[in-house]
């Protein structure tokens, strides 16, 4: 469930005018900007950006970038973008880090719907004049490349039905190859890169039924091997994305400074989707609420903004 | 250039009614059906099918299937379908042959635009409840699978600009790996499966500039190795699709009986695209025109229909 609190009806032209007002004169009225943008859903924000362009012949994102700064600027700009544009930029950022942030790529590829991922690929092509899979293939190597290219290129079937025979036989393929430590076996990549999520979850369940442990456990033998980490990330994103996101938030808070971006990324990308469920899982595991830790570890407009997206303001 | 002769304005309801009339009473008026459908472009045919459904609560394709038979039925049904539905069904047919017809898969993956291929994948998922790449991966094996999955999953950038450095270095990668007979090297598949067609053509040209022979020649060492044939087919479809299609037509006519389907497939899928150019290339190489051989080797309504699509009736 979405944590975002947005009015059913919104007035994009009025919103655009009020944002302009908040940017004019001495200083910027950050609270006014937050009170508008943090309470509009994606289609409403899109209309505000279009209206802003129409009235002031200026891109709203550019305006926000010039008025604001730091974490707050970054967060509110990503929030204001179209989700597919945002994901394309995040993916490009991940690819251009000194070490490719392959987990971010996996998160985008495996937690979005097939149509959403397609929209990301379209935005990516439009923004960067390359295809996403082209840049992923260029910037990575070896088995991790095979895995990443497969999951960013796929257009999975999204029906809920699945085939029992295939699920069982593919659970055995996983078990056999993992037993041989052939983690990068092409059948593993073929299955993860082409099957529907429902079909994969069925196979993961059979794996556990037949062998007593979950498939992720079988991959835990070397927690710093990049390929194994990537493989586990793919499986976790497909199996239970909300639990995966709750873990990303936990890591982000435990490693503030190094993984700070992940905190706002999860909040921004999930606020309109399943952030309530993620927050529930987070509280169950951490003896505190996400809102509490956000209030404790962040400050200023950034804090106000994130708390608003959590549904707390 | 398109060989199809279609009126600028068409009247889908009237067309649907006239097709219904042609199907009623004793026998079927095949000529009436041809005179309508063989002279309507894809959007016009789509409207006829929609109108037919609306008026008679019956699918036009089903109606045609029950009235007609043989090659003619098959050809006119494929022609009447939405191009993406047709390609999805062709791909599925190719996958379900006793030996997978990987050339047909390559043809669909490499000669359609990125958006067209995406539409095929969408239709495939809708019709067969699997993704195209899922079925391709299931039905194939080894290096040919890596190649096919890559080319059906890609969403290539379609701009005409290309990067000189990348084209030169990738021409060298091709040359180096082909020299080592590492035809299935993952870099070859990465490049062919992710780069834009303009970028690939630039690399093929550098290959020829630097090494004196074309890249396809370098792959000619074993004309019956399936993987090598597939690789050459990919390259030819990307480099010069019209020449590739002219060759498919030539083979189809030389092997009537075994590759007969290819004759109507090329005509049907290219009539609205570049069939004129393909026919020119065909005549240059074969001392006869495509219309002549169609007239010579086919008969009846099938012949009338194909000649109409060639622009001859």
pLDDT tens, N- to C-terminus, chain A (313 residues): 788 999 988 999 999 999 999 998 788 999 999 999 999 999 999 999 999 999 999 999 999 999 999 999 999 999 999 999 999 999 999 999 999 999 999 999 999 999 999 999 999 999 999 999 999 999 999 999 999 999 999 999 999 999 999 999 999 999 999 999 999 999 999 999 999 999 999 999 999 999 989 998 888 877 789 999 999 999 999 999 999 999 999 999 988 777 778 999 999 999 999 999 999 999 988 989 999 999 999 999 999 999 999 998 7
CA distance A33 to A30: 5
Q: What is the pLDDT of residue A121?
A: 97
Among positive and negative, which fits the CA dihedral B96, B97, B102, B103? negative
CA distance B13 to B49: 9
Q: What is the pLDDT of residue A25?
A: 77
Query: Does the pLDDT at position B223 exceed 80?
Result: no
Residues 6+ apart with CB under 8 A from A37: A19, A45, A48, A76, A79, A80
Q: Tell me if A157 and B125 make a contact (CB, 8 A cut-off).
A: yes
Q: Tell me if B157 and A146 make a contact (CB, 8 A cut-off).
A: no
Q: What is the pLDDT of residue A290?
A: 95
Q: What is the pLDDT of residue A195?
A: 97
Q: Tell me if A134 and B194 make a contact (CB, 8 A cut-off).
A: yes
Q: Tell me if A153 and B153 make a contact (CB, 8 A cut-off).
A: yes
Burial of A138 (0-12, 13-18, 19+ CB in 10 A): middle
Q: What is the pLDDT of residue B135?
A: 97
Max CA distance (Å), chain B: 68
pLDDT digits (tens, 9 = 90+) for B121-141: 999 999 999 999 999 999 999
Q: Tell me if B133 and A154 make a contact (CB, 8 A cut-off).
A: yes
Among positive and negative, which fits the CA dihedral B242, B245, B251, B255? negative
Residues B22-27, mean pLDDT to the nearest whole number: 86
Q: What is the pLDDT of residue A256?
A: 78
Place of tokens 């994103």: A237
DSSP state of A212: S
Residues 6+ apart with CB under 8 A from A2: A271, A272, A273, A274, A275, A276
Terminal alpha carbon distance of chain B: 17
For residue A227, give how far its alpha carbon lies from the nearest alpha carbon of chain B (Å).
17
**CB A202 within 8 Å of CB A162:** yes
Which one, of B174, B98, B83, B92, lies nearest residue B127 by Cα? Answer: B92
Q: Per residue, what are the HEC states of A76-104?
A: HHHHHCCHHHHHHHHHHHHHHCCCCCHHH
Give B137's contacts in chain A (Cβ within 8 Å). 190, 193-194
Give A149's contacts in chain B (Cβ within 8 Å). 150, 190, 193-194
Q: Tell me if B190 and A153 make a contact (CB, 8 A cut-off).
A: no
For residue B115, give how far its alpha carbon lies from the nearest alpha carbon of chain A (Å).
10
Q: What is the pLDDT of residue A85?
A: 97
CA distance B145 to A192: 15
Angle in degrees, CA B158, B160, B162, rounded to 5 = 100
Angle between helices B275-286 and B260-270 in degrees, nearest 10: 140
Which one, of A234, A247, A239, A238, lies nearest residue A284 by Cα? Answer: A247
For residue A170, give how far its alpha carbon lies from the nearest alpha carbon of chain B (Å).
11
Q: Which of B131, B137, B157 sits opposite A129 (nearest CB)?
A: B157
Which one, of B108, B147, B110, lies nearest residue B227 by Cα? Answer: B147
Q: What is the pLDDT of residue A312?
A: 83
Q: What is the pLDDT of residue B312?
A: 83
Cα radius of gyration (chain A): 21
Q: Tell me if A137 and B190 make a contact (CB, 8 A cut-off).
A: yes
Residues 6+ apart with CB under 8 A from B156: A131, A134, B114, B194, B195, B196, B197
Give B194's contacts in chain A (Cβ within 8 Å). 131, 133-134, 137-138, 149
CB burial of A91-105 (b: ≥16 within 10 Å; e: otherwise) equals bbebbeeeebbbbbb
Q: Give the mutation candidate from A118, A149, A151, A166 for the B interface (greatest B CB count, under 10 A).
A: A149
Q: Which of residues 255-294 of B touch A (CB under 8 A)?
A: none
Q: Is A281 helix (H, G, I), strand (E, B) or coil?
A: helix
Domains recognised in chain A with CATH numbers: 12-68 (1.10.220.10), 83-153 (1.10.220.10), 164-239 (1.10.220.10), 241-309 (1.10.220.10)
Query: Does the pLDDT at position B221 exceed 90?
Result: no
Q: Tell me if A150 and B149 make a contact (CB, 8 A cut-off).
A: yes
pLDDT digits (tens, 9 = 90+) for B237-294: 999 999 999 999 999 998 877 777 899 999 999 999 999 999 999 998 898 999 999 9
Give B131's contacts in chain A (Cβ within 8 Å). 154-157, 194, 196
Q: What is the pLDDT of residue B32?
A: 95
Instruction: Output the CA torsion B79→B83→B86→B88 (10° steps).
Output: 170
Q: Tell me if A155 and B153 make a contact (CB, 8 A cut-off).
A: yes
For residue A48, give how far its alpha carbon lies from the nearest alpha carbon of chain B (Å).
29
Q: Tell me if B157 and A193 make a contact (CB, 8 A cut-off).
A: no
Give A153's contacts in chain B (Cβ within 8 Å). 133, 150, 153-155
Which one, of A70, A73, A51, lies nearest residue A60 by Cα? Answer: A51
Kindly report the number of other CB atoms within 10 A of residue B9's CB atom: 6
Q: Tell me if B134 and A157 make a contact (CB, 8 A cut-off).
A: yes
pLDDT digits (tens, 9 = 90+) for B146-199: 999 999 999 999 999 999 999 999 999 999 999 999 999 999 999 999 999 999
The two three-digit tokens of residue B273, written as one number: 């695209």
Terminal alpha carbon distance of chain A: 17
Give B153's contacts in chain A (Cβ within 8 Å). 133, 150, 153-155
Which chain B residue has its CA at the smallest distance from A161's CA?
B129
How many residues appear in chain B? 313
Cα distances (angstroms) measured from residue A124 to each of A88, A104, A309, B102: 5, 15, 26, 30
Q: Which of residues 136-165 of B touch A (CB under 8 A)?
A: 137-138, 145-146, 149-150, 153-159, 161
Q: Which of residues 82-141 of B touch A (CB under 8 A)?
A: 114, 118, 121-122, 125, 129-134, 137-138
Burial of B213 (0-12, 13-18, 19+ CB in 10 A): exposed
- Residue B55 phi, psi dihedral angles, 5° rounding: -80, -45
Query: Does the pLDDT at position B224 exceed 90?
Result: no
Angle between helices B142-153 and A186-194 in degrees, nearest 10: 30
For residue A150, give how far its alpha carbon lies from the nearest alpha carbon of chain B (Å).
8
CA distance B267 to B273: 10
Which one, of A169, A243, A241, A156, lies nearest residue A197 by Cα? Answer: A156
Kindly report the number of other CB atoms within 10 A of residue B304's CB atom: 18
The two three-digit tokens of residue B64, written as one number: 């045609």
pLDDT digits (tens, 9 = 90+) for B41-66: 999 999 999 999 999 999 999 999 99
Q: What is the DSSP string of B228-240?
A: HHHHHHHHHHHH-
Q: Tell me if B186 and A145 make a contact (CB, 8 A cut-off).
A: yes
Q: Which of B137, B156, B194 sits opposite A190 (nearest CB)?
A: B137
Give B196's contacts in chain A (Cβ within 8 Å). 130-131, 134
A197 touches B at CB < 8 Å: no
For residue A114, give how far its alpha carbon lies from the nearest alpha carbon of chain B (Å).
10
Q: Is A129 helix (H, G, I), strand (E, B) or coil?
A: coil
């Amino acid at each position: 469930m979405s944590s975002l609190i947005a009015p059913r009806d919104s007035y994009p032209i009025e919103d655009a005018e009020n944002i302009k007002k908040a940017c004019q004169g001495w200083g910027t009225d950050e609270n006014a900007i937050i009170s508008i943008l943090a309470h509009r859903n994606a289609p409403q924000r899109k209309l505000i950006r279009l209206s802003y362009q129409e009235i002031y012949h200026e891109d709203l994102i550019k305006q926000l970038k010039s008025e604001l700064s730091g974490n707050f600027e970054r967060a509110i700009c990503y929030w204001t973008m179209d989700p597919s544009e945002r994901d394309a930029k995040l993916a490009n950022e991940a690819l251009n880090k000194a070490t490719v942030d392959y987990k971010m790529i996996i998160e985008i590829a495996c937690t979005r719907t097939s149509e959403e991922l397609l929209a990301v690929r379209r935005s990516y092509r439009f923004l960067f004049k390359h295809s996403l899979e082209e840049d992923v293939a260029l910037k990575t190597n070896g088995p991790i490349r095979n895995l990443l290219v497969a999951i960013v290129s796929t257009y999975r079937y999204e029906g809920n039905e699945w085939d029992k025979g295939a699920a069982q036989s593919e659970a055995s393929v996983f078990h056999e190859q993992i037993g041989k430590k052939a983690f990068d076996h092409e059948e593993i990549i073929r299955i993860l890169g082409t099957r529907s999520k429902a079909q994969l979850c069925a196979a993961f369940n059979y794996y556990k039924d037949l062998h007593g442990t979950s498939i992720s456990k079988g991959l835990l033998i070397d927690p710093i091997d990049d390929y194994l980490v990537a493989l586990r990330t793919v499986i976790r994103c497909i199996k239970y994305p909300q639990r995966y996101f709750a873990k990303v938030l936990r890591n982000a808070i435990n490693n503030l400074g190094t993984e700070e971006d992940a905190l706002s990324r999860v909040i921004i990308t999930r606020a309109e989707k399943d952030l309530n469920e993620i927050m529930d899982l987070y509280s169950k595991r951490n003896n505190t609420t996400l809102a509490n830790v956000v209030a404790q570890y962040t400050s200023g407009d950034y804090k106000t903004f994130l708390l608003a997206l959590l549904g707390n303001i």
